[in-house]
């Protein structure tokens, strides 16, 4: 279980509630008793007596999920498994389940419920229909809001229009559309129902469909919301969509820079970054008062010993507020995994270590030890007080710099405080402060009258 790992950061896993399960719960009938449990934020009750248990599995919690599944099956409980890992390795998961869901569950879960009530459930349910235009409202009443810093997380699309070799997405959406959206009016209605000001869009690419996103931002413009989300470099540079997002309340964005090497971009099939001006995208975001969380991958074949310092120095010079670093990880079901498997570069299938913090493949250009130590050094260096100070001074606007310094320092340098807030179940009490920081400021205080806040990484 990832929550027991020495690398476990309670705050990172206390951010967002499990929307996938809350989405499926909406298909149950009004008479069904449902309890949503999240071991990331609470001690779960394994001595209950449910009729059905549904577990969502991602790779690093796979072994723990199988343990829970086996526990319930021994007691005669019907167990369903779904999620990214199940879709990638259904044969492995089937050993621990009565029914599996392959791919998105919006069409298969309602079918399962009908089959189960008719006492004829199937072993495998494969997603066929890719359409979320008419899904029922998420069962947010099942979410224990007080346990999360960002309970107002939301997803208005599925997947991503791009096909990076190392991304899990293609395995999950195999055999059909890999990117599709809700109806704009349905998304706006869901937003209207959420309390407070702050939202976090968990979509892989919030700006991925220009027509949808433009209409969404137009509808949000008068809602007085502040929000965070993810985008690609090319979407930030194309047209005026990022300006529309800023006008609607976008205050921070997660951006997959991944690498500063063109050869690595080509190797990874990250076409949306090739030939794009990273610096121009960053300047555009900063001019709009939008802070940046940059994502970077170490261990691609063109990397050498200098990659760690070059990447950290570049991020500091560009004024990135936060950086998320990853060791290249060949997830099952991806083209990267298939290629490395064929090349006999996969070291083992201990899924608990497929967490982007460990080296699980035979490297090129760097030794395993160099890659691991370089990754650890990058985090320590980027979040050193001196580099936080240097990066915060890269902003032309003083208020941007102050907010940058406060957030980057607070996010990484005050772990005991975050842990205390979590243990005392006071984390959600920080939300008004978050909303205040994200709220618009006067033009004299901020470029364009906007107050930035970095994406949470």
Whether 122 and 112 have beta carbons less than 8 Å apart is answered as yes
Whether 412 has a pLDDT exceeding 70, the answer reads yes
Cα–Cα separations (whole angstroms), residue 282 to 7, 435, 448: 30, 24, 16
Band of residue 448 on the pLDDT scale cut at 50, 70, 90: very low
Please tell me the CATH superfamily of domain 144-449, with its number. Aldolase class I (3.20.20.70)
pLDDT recorded at residue 12:
76
- Looking at residue 209, the DSSP 8-state letter turns out to be S
Q: Report the DSSP beta bridge partners of residue 137.
A: none
Arithmetic mean of pLDDT, 295-315: 97
pLDDT recorded at residue 436:
63
Domain made up of 18-126: CATH architecture: 3-Layer(aba) Sandwich (3.40)
- Looking at residue 165, the DSSP 8-state letter turns out to be T
The per-residue b/e assignment along 164-182, b for 16 or more CB within 10 angstroms, e otherwise, is bbbbbbbbbbeeeebbbbb
Sequence-separated (6 or more) residues with CB below 8 Å from residue 416: none
Residue corresponding to tokens 């993810």: 230
pLDDT recorded at residue 447:
36
pLDDT recorded at residue 454:
37
Cα–Cα separations (whole angstroms), residue 35 to 51, 75, 79, 278, 453: 12, 18, 15, 45, 34
The mean-pLDDT minimum among 175-184, 200-209, 294-303 falls in 175-184
Band of residue 455 on the pLDDT scale cut at 50, 70, 90: very low
H-helix or E-strand spanning residue 52: strand 52-56
Q: Higher-confidence residue: 422 or 344?
A: 344
Rg (CA), the chain: 22
pLDDT recorded at residue 15:
85
Q: What distance in Å separates the CA atoms of residue 88 and residue 10, rounded to the nearest whole number?
A: 27
Would you kindly state where each structural domain of the chain is located, as residue ranges?
A: 18-126, 144-449
* Pair type for strands 124-126 and 99-102: parallel
pLDDT digits (tens, 9 = 90+) for 386-399: 999 999 999 888 88
Quick one: residue 362, left, alpha or beta (phi over 0 = left, psi -120 to 50 = alpha)?
beta
The mean-pLDDT minimum among 37-46, 82-91, 104-113 falls in 37-46
Arithmetic mean of pLDDT, 299-315: 97
pLDDT recorded at residue 100:
98
Dihedral angle, C-alpha 157, 13, 4, 363, nearest 10 °: 60
Distance spanning both ends of the chain, measured CA to CA: 20
Whether 406 has a pLDDT exceeding 90, the answer reads no
Band of residue 438 on the pLDDT scale cut at 50, 70, 90: low
pLDDT recorded at residue 140:
96
Residue 215: how many other CB atoms lie within 10 Å:
18
Whether 4 has a pLDDT exceeding 80, the answer reads no
Tell me how long the chain is.
457
Band of residue 143 on the pLDDT scale cut at 50, 70, 90: very high
The mean-pLDDT minimum among 51-60, 403-412, 440-449 falls in 440-449
Whether 439 has a pLDDT exceeding 80, the answer reads no
Cα–Cα separations (whole angstroms), residue 219 to 74, 120, 195, 202, 245: 50, 44, 17, 19, 11
């Amino acid at each position: 279980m990832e929550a027991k790992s020495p690398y476990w950061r309670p705050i990172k896993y206390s951010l967002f509630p499990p929307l996938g399960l809350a989405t499926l719960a909406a298909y149950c009938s009004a008479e069904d008793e449902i309890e949503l449990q999240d071991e990331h934020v609470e001690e779960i009750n394994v001595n209950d007596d449910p009729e059905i248990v549904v577990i969502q599995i991602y790779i690093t919690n796979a072994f723990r999920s199988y343990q829970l599944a086996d526990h319930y099956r021994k007691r005669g409980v019907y167990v369903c498994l779904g999620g990214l890992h199940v879709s990638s390795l259904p044969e492995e998961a089937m050993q621990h389940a009565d029914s599996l869901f392959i791919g998105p569950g919006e069409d298969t879960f309602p079918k399962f419920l009908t089959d189960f009530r008719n006492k004829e459930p199937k072993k495998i349910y494969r997603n066929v229909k890719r359409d979320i235009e008419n899904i029922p409202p998420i069962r947010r009443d099942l979410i224990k809001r007080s346990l999360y810093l960002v309970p107002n997380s939301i997803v208005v699309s599925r997947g991503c229009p791009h096909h990076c070799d190392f991304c899990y997405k293609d395995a999950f959406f195999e055999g059909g559309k890999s990117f599709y959206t809700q109806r704009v009016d349905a998304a706006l209605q869901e937003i209207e129902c959420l309390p407070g000001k702050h939202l976090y869009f968990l979509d892989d690419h919030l700006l991925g469909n220009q027509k949808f996103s433009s209409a969404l931002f137009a509808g949000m413009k008068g809602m007085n919301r502040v929000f965070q989300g993810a985008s690609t470099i090319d979407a930030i540079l194309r047209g005026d969509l990022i300006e529309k997002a800023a006008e609607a309340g976008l205050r921070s964005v997660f951006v997959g820079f991944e690498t500063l090497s063109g050869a690595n971009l080509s190797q990874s099939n990250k076409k949306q970054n090739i030939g794009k001006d990273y610096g121009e995208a960053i300047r555009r975001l900063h001019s709009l008062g939008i802070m940046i969380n940059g994502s970077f991958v170490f261990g691609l074949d063109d990397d050498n010993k200098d990659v760690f310092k070059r990447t950290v120095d570049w991020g500091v010079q560009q004024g990135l507020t936060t950086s998320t670093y990853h060791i290249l990880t060949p997830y099952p079901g991806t083209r990267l995994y298939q290629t490395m498997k064929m090349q006999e570069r996969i070291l083992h299938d201990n899924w608990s270590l497929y967490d982007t913090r460990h080296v699980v493949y035979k490297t090129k250009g760097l030794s395993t030890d160099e890659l691991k130590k370089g990754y650890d050094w990058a985090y320590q260096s980027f979040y050193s007080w001196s580099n936080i100070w240097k990066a915060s001074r890269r902003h032309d606007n003083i208020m941007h710099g102050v907010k940058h310094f406060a957030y980057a320092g607070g996010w990484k340098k005050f772990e005991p405080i975050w842990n205390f807030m979590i243990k005392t179940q006071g984390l959600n009490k920080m939300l008004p402060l978050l909303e205040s920081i994200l709220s618009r400021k006067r033009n004299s205080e901020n470029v364009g009258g906007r107050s930035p806040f970095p994406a949470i990484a």
